[in-house]
Structure 1
Amino acid sequence: MTTRWQAENSAEDSTRYIERIDRLAERGVDLHGEARMVDALVSPESSILDAGCGTGRLGAELARRGHRVTGVDLDPVLAEAARAHPELDVHFADLTALDLGRTFDAAVAAGNVLVYMKPGTEREALERIWAHLTDGGVFVTGFATDRDYTVAALDADLAAVGFVVEHRFATWDLRPWRDDADWAVTVARKPALLA
Structure 2
Amino acid sequence: MTGQRDRWAELTGGRAGEEYAQRFARLAASGHDVHGEATFCAALVESAAKVLDAGCGTGRIAIRLAELGHHCTGVDVDPSMLAVARRDAPDQDWLLGDLARLDDLGLDPDHDLVLAAGNVIPLLAPGTGETVVGHLAAVLRPGGLLVTGMGLDAAHLPLEEAPVTLDEFDDWCTRAGLTLRQRYATWSGDPYREGGGYAVSVHAAPTS
Q: Pick the TM interval, shorter chain.
A: over 0.9
From 6, 17, 27, give the equivalent of 1:24.
27
From 3, 8, 19, give the equivalent of 1:5.
8
Task: State the alpha-carbon separation in 2 of the partners of residues 164 and 187 from structure 1.
Answer: 8
From 67, 73, 78, give the equivalent of 2:76.
73
Q: How does 1:169-180 map to 2 (within 5 A)?
A: 169-180=184-195
From 115, 123, 130, give the equivalent of 1:123.
130
Gaps of 5+ in 1: none
Look up the equivalent residue of 1:142 and give its one-letter code.
Answer: G
Which residue number in structure 2 is paired with residue 183 of structure 1? 198
**TM-score, length of structure 1 as denominator length:** 0.94
Give the fraction of aligned pairs with identical amino acids, expressed as a percent: 37
CA contact (8 A) 1:52 1:110 kept: yes
1:127 shift after superposition: 1.0
From 155, 158, 183, give the equivalent of 2:170.
155
Look up the equivalent residue of 1:184 and give its one-letter code.
Answer: A
Query: Cα RMSD over matched residues?
Result: 1.3
Q: Mark the CA change 1:173 to 1:156 in structure 2 (over 3 Å): closer, same or farther.
A: same
Gaps of 5+ in 2: 154-161
The answer to whether residue 114 in structure 2 is matched with residue 107 in structure 1 is yes
Please state whether the residue corresponding to 2:201 is helix, strand or coil: strand
From 126, 140, 146, give the equivalent of 1:139.
146
Task: State the alpha-carbon separation in 1 of the partners of residues 144 and 13 from structure 2.
Answer: 34
CA contact (8 A) 1:60 1:87 kept: no
Look up the equivalent residue of 1:86 and give its one-letter code.
Answer: P
Spell out structure 1 runs of 4+ moving beyond 4 A: none
1:2-59 deviation line (CA, Å, top 9, x unaligned):
1011111124444322221221122221011111110000111000000000110000
From 40, 52, 64, give the equivalent of 1:37.
40
Which residue number in structure 1 is paired with residue 56 of structure 2? 53
CA contact (8 A) 2:180 2:201 kept: yes
Which residue number in structure 2 is paired with residue 64 of structure 1? 67
1:74 shift after superposition: 0.4
CA contact (8 A) 1:70 1:90 kept: yes
Task: Tell me the number of residue pairs that the alignment of Structure 1 and Structure 2 aligns.
Answer: 193
CA contact (8 A) 1:51 1:72 kept: yes
Task: State the alpha-carbon separation in 2 of the partners of residues 105 and 187 from structure 1.
Answer: 12
Which residue number in structure 1 is paired with residue 96 of structure 2? 92
Look up the equivalent residue of 1:59 and give its one-letter code.
Answer: A
